[in-house]
Amino acid sequence: MQYFMEPKDVAIIGASQDFKTINGKILKYLLKHHYQGRIYPVNPKYQEIAGVTCYASVEEIPRDVDLALIAVAAVRVPGILKDCGTHGIKRAVIFSSGFAETGAEGKIIQEEIIATAKKYQMRLIGPNCLGILNASSGMIASFSASLELDCIKTGHLALVSQSGAVGFMLFNLLQEAGVGVNFVVTTGNEADVTVSEGLDYVVENPKTKVILTYLEGLRDGEPFKKTAEKAAEAGKPIIALKVGNSKSGQKAAATHTAALAGSGAAYKSFFDKMGIIQANDSDDIIDLAQAFVPGKLPKGPKVGIVTMSGGVGILLADRSEELGLKIPQLSKGLQEEVQKVIPAFGCAQNPVDVTAQSLNQGEEFKKCLKILLASEELDMLIVAITMATGKMAEKIGMDIAEAALGTDKPLVVSWSVGQVSKPGFDVLKDAGVPLYHSPARAAKVLGALYKYVNFKCGWKKTSGGEINLDRKVKVQKALKENSKVLSEHSTKELLELYGLPVTKEYVAKSAEEAAAMAECMGYPVVMKIDSPDILHKTEAGGVAVNISSAQEAEAKFKEITENGRNYNPQAKINGILIQEQVPPGVEVIVGLQRDPVLGTQIMFGLGGIFVEVLKDVVLKPIPLSREDAQEVLNEIKGGALLNGVRGRQAADKDALVEILLGVSQLAVEAGEDLLSLDINPVMALPQGMGAKILDGVIVTS
């Protein structure tokens, strides 16, 4: 990526003298923004363009070139790439459309350029993208109209987008909001370089402090995950606008709870695990960018609100509380200090109402902000301004900016009127103070900062338990040898390898065996059909409970076997399980889902109606740490049920944590052959009494 982002020289193939055309604009913007490298326009029509020598062909360029910029019609691209390859150019950005995005014909041309690139060991960005830029070196390889601005405000933000239009739209909005940008990468069709590679470059670059990304869908989750880990390690927040969640992802369909884990849910759990902040709109991602760029994080949840309108103060308190932030009552001492610098009819509590009057006068408003920022009673501050015009707006802006620059605490401004207050807006933008034009948006970003700081403090790279090679071989063999669906008993055999508490059970091959096993196990017992071809055992009449004598066991053996044969005459029946009957407890479900892109995720939920009616489940990418497993139990909505409510006994949560960790380890060792696991139910017994896995099914790839 370095050659893409920091080229010493670039060639513009098909460069045009007409700065209104795409090929003209690329050259125009390089010149306009003072690219520090050499530019080689290539076009046989011209000797020079705007004072830059123009070459008739790639071959005529007198020296090696780091990067070729190609914006000609799709059909001409393969030939040009070949020329570039022959001439030793190793990097190309292809802007042109008309490739895989348009259908079969375009796809063929795309395959052709991929082959050409491979042949010459070239790397490609695009096609169908809007290019890349490195603002600090003036390397503006794009034709987006958003580059018409006179001067790019540079800063520590990097932007990597799968869509060119969205990427440069966000670039424009960032510039308008006064946020400096250093890198933009748009990857388009990703014939070669993916969004993950772009992200990896910007995350590693010391100039980057905050990363924005627009995603439609990753081609491979692994490199993205590694990059996200690097960002987490470095404390560089990634803010993502991921679209396409309303389309169902690919689902593992054989187990019925699989329907709950769409790929949108997989992304969400993955982002949560990696501390990636999720935006849901263009507004939203810009709002968040503004808040994260100053690099100030709150130490706790305590928000101070300063306002000139009681109403806006209440609104801010409402929205802040909803986000888990606290609006603490100020101590008597602090109130007294504040009261000295606000009018008598102001309010020194939190929200602090400084009144419109005090904003206009001398040093008092500024002093008030400084007093609040200096206090340990508050972790961050929202300053809410409503109507202010002209000079007064400017003064307010300056007072706030001074206070913001003098603190390590986050300070954001909600200034909810229109352009009458522009002089104030301009001061704040120049000073890099996060400015929002509505109260809820200001509260929202503080919620995100607080959430991120919690992530950052708790972050450590989770590595699963140590891999047991023997066991791994055994598991992978079992998964390969079995049919697509493993029976309950086979599934439990694998779970037992991980020390998981499956029910004691044996497979009886005859009625006599069934009676003997039941006798030996002690009554009551449960009897279940054991067949990889009968997934829904109850529906098939394949389950009997409360069996309490040898005679009953014999009779049920015959009945269940017959039921199974009637239900599915083709079913392979291994026998009938004779299983210990577990006393009642809280039923939970533990599962594994493999997302084709993001890998395996563990699923946890309360059993029965909680999953079926309320869809109350949590997903987490594997491997789980012990902390992750504990979190999972608290994250479900019905989590309180495990703690015992209204006279019920608390469930053995430790035992559930062990099961989650074991299942996570199974997923790690099983690898890609395991498509899904559904343990339903696990019976969580009262605290101290463990948990039992009553039923389970594995589906292989």
Question: Which of 104/344 has CB closer to a second copy?
Answer: 344
The rounded distance, in Å, linking the Cα atoms of 371 and 604 is 47
In this chain, which of 296, 437, 471, 565 binds a second copy, going by CB under 8 A? 437
Residues found in the chain? 701
Question: Which of 473/645 has CB closer to a second copy?
Answer: 645
Stretch that binds a second copy, among 172-180, 399-407, 577-585, 680-688 (CB under 8 A): 172-180
Is residue 451 near a second copy by the rule CB under 8 A? no
Is residue 308 near a second copy by the rule CB under 8 A? yes
Q: Scanning residues 316 to 345, which ones bind a second copy (CB under 8 A)?
A: 317-319, 321-322, 344-345
Residue 244 phi, psi dihedral angles, 5° rounding: 90, 15
The rounded distance, in Å, linking the Cα atoms of 239 and 589 is 32
> Contact, 241 vs 214, CB < 8 A?
yes
Write the CA distances from 155 to 136, 592, 595, integer angstroms: 9, 42, 36
Q: Scanning residues 131 to 160, which ones bind a second copy (CB under 8 A)?
A: 144-146, 148-149
Question: What is the DSSP code string of 138-154?
Answer: TEEE---GGGGSSSPPP
- b/e code 520-554 from CB counts within 10 Å (16+ = b): ebeeebbbbbbbbbbbebeebbbbbeebeebebbb
In this chain, which of 114, 516, 614, 668 binds a second copy, going by CB under 8 A? 614
**Helix (H) and strand (E) counts for the chain?**
23, 30
Tell me the two tokens of residue 106. Answer: 């375009």
Is residue 280 near a second copy by the rule CB under 8 A? yes
Is residue 20 near a second copy by the rule CB under 8 A? no
In this chain, which of 52, 314, 431, 550 binds a second copy, going by CB under 8 A? 314
Strand pairing partners for 392?
none
CB of 422 to a second copy, least distance (A): 11
Question: Which of 35/214 has CB closer to a second copy?
Answer: 214
Stretch that binds a second copy, among 108-116, 439-447, 480-488, 505-513 (CB under 8 A): 439-447
In this chain, which of 83, 283, 426, 533 binds a second copy, going by CB under 8 A? 283
Is residue 173 near a second copy by the rule CB under 8 A? yes
Q: Scanning residues 203 to 242, which ones bind a second copy (CB under 8 A)?
A: 214, 216, 241
Q: Scanning residues 626 to 665, which ones bind a second copy (CB under 8 A)?
A: 637-638, 640-641, 645-646
- Structure-token match 């239009």, residue found: 165
Stretch that binds a second copy, among 243-251, 374-382, 404-412, 456-464 (CB under 8 A): 243-251
Is residue 672 near a second copy by the rule CB under 8 A? no
- Structure-token match 């009551």, residue found: 524
In this chain, which of 60, 176, 363, 376 binds a second copy, going by CB under 8 A? 176
Q: Which amino acid is at 83?
A: D
Is residue 356 near a second copy by the rule CB under 8 A? yes
Is residue 179 near a second copy by the rule CB under 8 A? no
Tell me the two tokens of residue 293. Answer: 């760029």
In this chain, which of 110, 163, 257, 561 binds a second copy, going by CB under 8 A? 163
Q: What is the 3-state secondary structure (H, E, C) of 664-679?
A: HHHHHHHHHHEEEEEE
Question: What is the DSSP code string of 180-246?
Answer: -EEEEEE-TT-SSS-HHHHHHHHHHSTT-SEEEEEES--S-HHHHHHHHHHHHHHT--EEEEE--TT
In this chain, which of 47, 51, 104, 281 binds a second copy, going by CB under 8 A? 281
Is residue 295 near a second copy by the rule CB under 8 A? no
Stretch that binds a second copy, among 49-57, 484-492, 588-596, 606-614 (CB under 8 A): 606-614
Write the CA distances from 468 to 286, 502, 594, integer angstroms: 47, 20, 21
- Applying CB under 8 A, what is the total number of residues that bind a second copy? 71
Question: 223, exposed or middle or buried, with CB in 10 Å at 0-12, 13-18, 19+?
Answer: middle
Question: Which of 98/686 has CB closer to a second copy?
Answer: 98
